[in-house]
Amino acid sequence: MGFFELAILEAALLGALSGIVGTIVVLRRRAFFTVALTHATFPGGVIAALLGLNILLGAAVFSIVLVGIMLVISRVDRQGSQVASGVVLTFGFALGALLQSLNRDMSVQVDTFLIGNILTVSPGDIAVTAGVLVLAVLCVLFAGKQLLFSSFDPQGYRLAGFRPVAIDLVVLGLIAATVVVSMPAVGSILAIALIAGPAVSARLIMRRIEWMIPLAVLFGLVSGVGGLWVSRVFSVAAGGGIALTACAIVMLAVAYDRVRQYRAERSANGGREA
């Protein structure tokens, strides 16, 4: 395969993965944590580069540390996930910037992983992305009901005898893995657009929960492959093209939702007047 064919395959895999994991992020209101994680994995890449290790490995290990910090802070009295996410974002990104400023002669430009370059992905990157996609599919198939139950009724989930910590670990692990495998392609900063965008669009358009993931996967595929095509045709950055395509789909979904609401209100007013 040539570099562009590899890029298309990676874009398709990332789009499908983002559709699945993004739906979980949106339903469980973990968007801010995802933003924090996309920024805060930066120091893991810097540390790995300093040690001569694979940058993705460093980001993956550091994301585990961040998830642990997130769980601990979110369970402190009078604190919550939003506070924990803010702490994680600030701590991680600041540490990465500090380490990089102290080691400017690094042979690897870690800051390239902030914006990514899907045209340089390797077969190994694609294999890792495919592995995380398979893992996400298995989690939805075998734990989908628990994910929905704990998302819409956390108290009832706890009273039913389930352990919220276990499902939280699964969710946070999936988010962290998705962020890490997105880094080479779209970068840690732009990853949030591809992860959250398709799911937000699907939720605006589709009322039935069971159809959200398939539609989000479709939007993810269009965002990834379509954005890559846009970048090639107009000679723009691939990561930016993918992120902007995902954002454009969100805007179209918002417009569709507004039109639908307007028609429903107009129909209801017409019925009352009659």
Asked if 243 and 193 touch (Cβ cutoff 8 Å), the reply is yes
Whether the model pTM is above 0.75:
yes
Cβ density class 38-77: b for 16+ within 10 Å, e for less: bbbbbbbbbbbbbeeeebbebbbebbeebbebbeebbeee
d(CA 169, CA 166): 5
Instruction: Name residue, tokens 């340089």.
Output: 120
Asked if 181 and 173 touch (Cβ cutoff 8 Å), the reply is no
Nearby residues of 11 by Cβ (< 8 Å), 6 or more positions away: 118, 185, 224, 225, 227, 228, 242
Asked if 25 and 199 touch (Cβ cutoff 8 Å), the reply is yes
Instruction: Name residue, tokens 């805060």.
Output: 40
Asked if 176 and 37 touch (Cβ cutoff 8 Å), the reply is yes
Q: Spell out the domain ranges in the chain.
A: 3-273
Extended strands (E) in 71-224: none
Tens place of pLDDT for every residue, the chain, 274 residues?
788 999 999 999 999 999 999 999 999 888 877 887 877 787 887 788 788 888 788 888 888 887 777 777 766 655 556 666 777 777 777 887 788 777 766 655 665 667 778 988 989 999 999 999 999 999 999 988 898 888 888 888 888 888 888 888 888 889 989 988 998 888 877 888 999 999 999 999 998 888 999 999 999 999 999 999 999 998 888 888 999 999 999 999 999 999 999 988 888 776 565 5
Fold of the 3-273 domain: ABC transporter involved in vitamin B12 uptake, BtuC (1.10.3470)
Asked if 88 and 40 touch (Cβ cutoff 8 Å), the reply is yes
d(CA 92, CA 211): 36
